[in-house]
Structures are given as C-alpha cells and as structure tokens.
Structure 1
Amino acid sequence: MNEILKSIKTPAYVCEEAKVRKNLELLKYVKEQSGAKILVALKGFAFSGVMDLVGSYLDGATCSGLHEAKFASEYLKGEIHTYSPAFKDEDFDEILKISKHITFNSFAQWQKFKGIALQNGIICGLRVNPEVSLAPTDSYNPCGKFSRLGITRANFKPELLDGITGLHFHALCEESASSLQVVLEAFEEKFGEFIPKMKWINMGGGHHITRADYDVELLINIIRRFREKYGVEVYLEPGEAVGWQTGFLISSVLDIVHNERDIAILDTSAEAHMPDTVLMPYRPAVRGESENGKFAYRFGGNTCLAGDIVGLEAGDAEYKFDSELKIGDRIIFEDQIHYTIVKNTTFNGIKLPDLILLKENGEVKMIREFGYEEYRRRN
C-alpha cells in the first residue's frame, strides 16, 4: 500500500473497491432478510467508478433532481426515484422520461404535475414530515422547526390522495435502528390511518447500517414487522452507509510554518474538499496520528480563508505524530468518499482532487483527473 500511495498525485480521493463491496454485502443481507428494497442516495455517494458494482447489489438510486436522475440512468441499473423540494417546469419532462417513482414535497406540487405524471405511468408519492428527528445538528435535521421538507399532519389533505400510492419520510442523519423506531412510531401516530391505502413506504436515508455498532438485526425486525402489519413494500435509501469507510483523501505537505504552534500547509482544503468537517462539524481521522505523539501540527488548507483549518470548527484542530512531518509527506484523511466529492468546490481556484479507484486486484485506476478547465467552466 505504501508504494501505491507514493505513486498517487495529490490531492486525490481514493475509493477502495473491496471496502465498497463489503458494505454492499451487508446491505444485500438486510434486503434479503427484511424484504425491503434499498436504493443508493446519490446526494451522499456518487462515485462513478463503482456504480456498476453498486447496481449489482442494490435496487436502484434515489435522486434529488434532474442531474442526479440523469447520472443514475447513465451509471446504474434498477429503479430511479426522484424527489425534490420543488420541481422546475423545464426539468420535469426529462425527469418523467428517466424516473420510475416521483415523490412530491407538497400538495401544490402534486396538483401541478399530477396529470402529466400519471399519464406517463409514474408511481407517485408524497413526502411527509413526522415532526420527530434525532439528527445531531439543526443543519441536518429535516424535521426541525420551520422545515420546508415534507408535509406536516396539520397540512395534510386526505381528499387529494387520489393517484398517490406511497408515502416517504426522511428524518435521520447517521442514526441507529433504535432512532428509526422512534421516528417510525411518530410516523404511524400521525399518518397511520393512510398507510393501508398505500402500496409502498419509503423510510428515507440516514440509516448508518454499515457502521460497526449498528444493530442490523433490529433494523431487519423493524422492517419485517412493518411490512407484515401493513402489507406494503418498504424502501430504504442510504447514501453514507454505502460509502462509509470506503476510502480516503490523500494530500501532500507543501510547507510548514510556525506561529506559536506548527502549521502544515496542504494541497487540499477543509473548506473546499471536506465541507462537512466545517458544516457538521467533525474532526476527520488522519492515518498515522498518535494520541501521545510528541509532534503536534495543525493542518491548513491552501486557500486564503483564515479558518480553513482541519478540525477547527469541531474544536479540535491539533494532530499529533510520533515523528516530525516534512515537506512532501503524504497526509491521509480517512473516510472521505461520502459527502465530499458530491459537495466540493473550486474556491480560490484550488484544484479539485482527482478521483481514483483502488481495485480489488490492486490496480490503481484514474476515474477523473481535474485541472484548470473545471475552474474555468464554473466561472
């Protein structure tokens, strides 16, 4: 592995095929044991180099609009489900051609597009808001106060359900099966009277199924009981669980400066390349760091933003090592394949990290190589 890492031009996201397959095997087990269908949520994980593999295990993709739906139709087999807080008129005809399911965020949107959707044989659903969530932060809480996402019970209009065959809720973020249980109880309490009229229920994403401490058997039992109780098809749409712990962001030390403490300047950026470390926030693990190491560093991005320091927003920006860092050393940020590539930017003209696939046979495959053209096209 060390020789492989030395050969990679930085910065780069490196996705490990074997680790993706491991996650998919577990998701396949959940499918088989629970009877649920599982869709990959492209908003969190859309690494084109492994989409053939993903498609061979899962039932399709859930998409947030036209572009994700087009990506799914190009790279994945299976069902395409599309949901957006609101659909644009000029996008909708193309969405109709690509999607099997379309979920609407409001009764106004449903009434607007109902005729053309049903004429085209679309399976139609509504997103509802159970008004309960255990999301760790307000930015990632779709059921928080004043949320625009989904219809609350107070705003639900049963008289307009003709043509609707399913309900969708999404209330979790990196959550456990017991959290799903809490949300599901609220969903049943508020919308249970309508479930027998439905053919399918989509329980959204945020299920941290592939995390080591996740209670997979509890999830399976929850889904089984729900399916037996109501006789409906159940969908899950994890994104992070597909890409969880499947790769890393590799960068290089460009310089080391000192201002009361040592600061290693990297050819990557927390702001531009690891945005959730700033938004969530969280401190990404670094390969080779040592809790009791004698040499401490901050990692600064190669941008003009003063706060572009890895881990700063999470309150822990210090990384310790057993030996001193040198210019040219490789710094590897673990678990940086989900919610990074789909969200990164060219802020300050910084180069987007290349996309590399480390195949199961040891081959290093360049999937996408980025440069000036990406910056120029966006400005």
Structure 2
Amino acid sequence: MNTTLLKHLTQTGETDIPSPCFILEEARLRRNLELIDAVQQAAGVTIILALKGFSMYSAFPLVREYLSGATASSLNEIKLVNDYMGVQAHTYIPAYQDASFDEVVSRSSHLTFNSWTQWERFKDRTVGKPVSCGIRVNPQYSEVATDMYNPCVPGSRLGATRNQLPDLLPEGLEGIHFHTLCENDSFTLERTLDALESRFGGLLHQAKWVNFGGGHLMTREGYDTNHLIGILTAFREKYKVDVILEPGSAIAWQTGILISTVLDVFNSQGIDVAILDTSFAAHMPDTLEMPYKPRILNSYHEPVAGKPTYRLGGMTCLAGDFMGDYSFDKPLDVGDKIVFDDMIHYTMVKTSTFNGVNLPSIGVWKENKSFQLVKTFGYESFKDRL
C-alpha cells in the first residue's frame, strides 16, 4: 500500500475519504497493466479485461492505454464495454435470450456459445454479421479446489465436452474458448493445455482463435511470466491461431483497499467483538463464498496471545456476517479505521444493499498522491434494486 495513502488514512482530524470506501491506487493498477502488456507483447497474444472481475469504469481510460478490449457476460456488461472502453465486446453468456440476442451480436466482436444446442439455435442469426463465433469447451481438467469456482465438476453447465462436438467445426464457428483456472499459475495452465489438446487437438487445428479464459494470476509475486510467455508462444505457433487471455483478478490484483470504521466494541460471552460500518455479507461476499480471511493492514492475521484480539462483524443483522479473530497492537475504539487489503477485484462487482446498508463509496488514490472521490451511494441506490 502507498505510504502516503496510509498516512492520509490515519491522520488525525477530518479526512476527505468517506467510510466505508473502496480506494483504487492508480499507480498500482498501472504497474499491473505494464506487466500484463509486456507479456502480451512478448508472446504475441491479446490480453483483455474481464469485467466480471473488475468493472470500475472510471479506470477504463487507464486500462485502454495497455489493453485493446474487454470480455462481458451479460448485455449490461457489454454496454459498459461499448460505452466506456469504446470497443465491441468479447462476449460469453452461458445462455443467450431471444429478445436480446440481436443486440448482443451487434455490440460484440467475438461471441462464444456455451453449448452445441445454443449454437444450433442461434447460428442463423449471426450469418452476415461482423462477429466471430466460437464455442466454449470443457477439457474436464481443473485444479481449482473450491467447487463453486470449478467449471469442470461433474455435471458442470459450463462448456461442451468432447463427445458433444463434431469432428469438424462447421462454417461460421471459428473459435475455441476454455476457462478452467482460478488465480492459478503458468504451470497449472501448462497441465490444463495438455488435457485440452488431448481431447480437442483436432478442433484446435481448425480454429482461427483460442480464448484461454481467465484465472491467469500473472501479477502475483512469484508468478513465472517467462514460463507463461513460452507456453503461449508455443501454442500460438503450433496451432497457427490468435490466442486471447481474459484475466479478472490479475488486472486489479493488490491495487486497492476497502476502508471501514469501528462503530461499536463490546464483549460477548468472553469474546471481544468489533462492529464495522461495512459488511462481509453485503460488501465482501467473496470472503464468505470462497471462503477466505481478508488481510487487514496493521493487524495480525491470526490471534496472538497477550494482544488485543477482536472478532470483526459487519453491520447487517445476518448472524453470519462476521469474520474470524484478528489481533492488534492496541485496543480498538469507536472511530478507529480498519483497512482491508486487496479489495478491488471480485469485490466491488459483487456488492449488494442487503438489509438496506449503503454501498461503500468509490474513490481513486491518484498518481499525483491526491484522493478523488468517484461515487457515493444512498437511498436511491438501495431503492432502485428493489
């Protein structure tokens, strides 16, 4: 985290940063984009933004300095790509709808079908349109441990298995799309490609493009980008295809925080509890879904004997809206700031107004070390969802 921002957050007196608030660090986003761009240039591939992981459109002008496009999984995301990235979308939706399909096609450069039945149903409506169609495949191999995020579990609804596809790609079907990674490394990708090629090698040779989906966490410390570049280059040259990657987490990895404030501190049956002005259930649902315990700046991730220790809870009335215990160097008090680290990717996109809680504000810590408040939310945001 930027030390100037940390000082700004902890300064005494009034601050221009509201609470709760998501804060994107512009310099860190640029650093990630520079690394990602270096990979795509060296490997001769195209890397695009996955809106399902990062949809903060106020940051899209910076993203467009490095990435040529974005992938969307709904008509609303497609419109966001069109309006704020200024390009047609790479689109994949698990099931297209009759009423909106023609608009989806008109707003997309690439269109991936989830199943052979979807392709058969809608293929005639893509004829003569300036869109390149593909199909998502299921290589039946994934190293994702959590079933909720594993698209290759038995009975998965995501992608066609080899027995569901013909030996020849029909006219108009030009691409192969797979997505089986989740914050994985290049060695996992290498093993995944072995499974993909063993099942779909014949179709890969017929394709014009192959979309590797997301989950390539190349901006995480220790990720072997040279190994990734080698894999991508070899695949592209072997099959003579355009290779596309669409990472979600990698774009905004470690680029921002969620700042919150302690509202109450009390003892509950021998356990010290601190209630915050944010919510794990409504504002950080990934922490409960995955689940994982988020990092808090200037705290101990696990309880330390002899140090002030608290069970942190959200402000909704859901009994399970709490996180495990954290220790601090000094006791918490009402008004203290709690700063959750790495809360930009797959967090902002999942927030809700459950229980009528306000959504966190959104801001940017600019490269010139100033804070810009992008958006605040209130009653209208809650009402408009109901």
Shorter-chain TM-score bucket reads: over 0.9
The answer to whether residue 268 in structure 2 is matched with residue 261 in structure 1 is no
**Structure 1 residue 321: deviation in Å?**
0.6
**Structure 1 residue 121: deviation in Å?**
1.9
After superposition, residues 1-379 of structure 1 pair within 5 angstroms as: 1-2=5-6, 4-5=8-9, 6-158=15-167, 161-259=170-268, 260-290=270-300, 292=304, 294-310=307-323, 317-379=324-386
**Structure 1 residue 160: deviation in Å?**
5.9
Q: TM-score, normalised by structure 1?
A: 0.96
**Structure 1 residue 79: deviation in Å?**
4.8
Question: What one-letter code is carried by the residue in structure 2 that aligns with 1:42?
Answer: L
**Distance in 2 separating the partners of 1:279 and 1:328:** 29
**Structure 1 residue 93: deviation in Å?**
1.6
Q: Relative to 1, partners in 2 of residues 1:3 and 1:181: Cα closer, same or farther, differing over 3 Å?
A: closer
Q: TM-score, normalised by structure 2?
A: 0.94
Number of aligned residue pairs = 373
| Stretch of structure 1 that moved more, 70-79 or 142-151 | 70-79
**Distance in 2 separating the partners of 1:68 and 1:235:** 19
Question: What one-letter code is carried by the residue in structure 1 that aligns with 2:117?
Answer: A
Deviations 1:112-170 (A, max 9, x none): 22122122121000000000001120000011111000000121123562211110000
Q: Relative to 1, partners in 2 of residues 1:66 and 1:295: Cα closer, same or farther, differing over 3 Å?
A: same
**Distance in 1 separating the partners of 2:118 and 2:173:** 13
Q: Relative to 1, partners in 2 of residues 1:297 and 1:36: Cα closer, same or farther, differing over 3 Å?
A: same
**Structure 1 residue 89: deviation in Å?**
1.1
**Distance in 2 separating the partners of 1:16 and 1:158:** 48
**Distance in 1 separating the partners of 2:321 and 2:220:** 28
Q: Unpaired runs of 5+ in structure 2?
A: 10-14
Pairwise CA RMSD: 1.2
Question: What one-letter code is carried by the residue in structure 1 that aligns with 2:334?
Answer: I
**Distance in 2 separating the partners of 1:127 and 1:280:** 24
**Distance in 1 separating the partners of 2:37 and 2:181:** 21
**Distance in 2 separating the partners of 1:96 and 1:250:** 40
Aligned to 1:314: none
**Distance in 2 separating the partners of 1:33 and 1:73:** 28
Task: Give secondary structure in 1 for the equivalent of 2:349.
Answer: coil
**Distance in 1 separating the partners of 2:87 and 2:106:** 14
**Structure 1 residue 352: deviation in Å?**
0.3
Q: Relative to 1, partners in 2 of residues 1:51 and 1:28: Cα closer, same or farther, differing over 3 Å?
A: same
Q: Relative to 1, partners in 2 of residues 1:160 and 1:30: Cα closer, same or farther, differing over 3 Å?
A: closer
> Are 2:364 and 2:371, in contact at CA under 8 Å, matched by a contact in 1?
yes
Q: Unpaired runs of 5+ in structure 1?
A: 311-316
**Structure 1 residue 11: deviation in Å?**
0.7
**Distance in 2 separating the partners of 1:136 and 1:368:** 36
Identical-pair percentage: 48
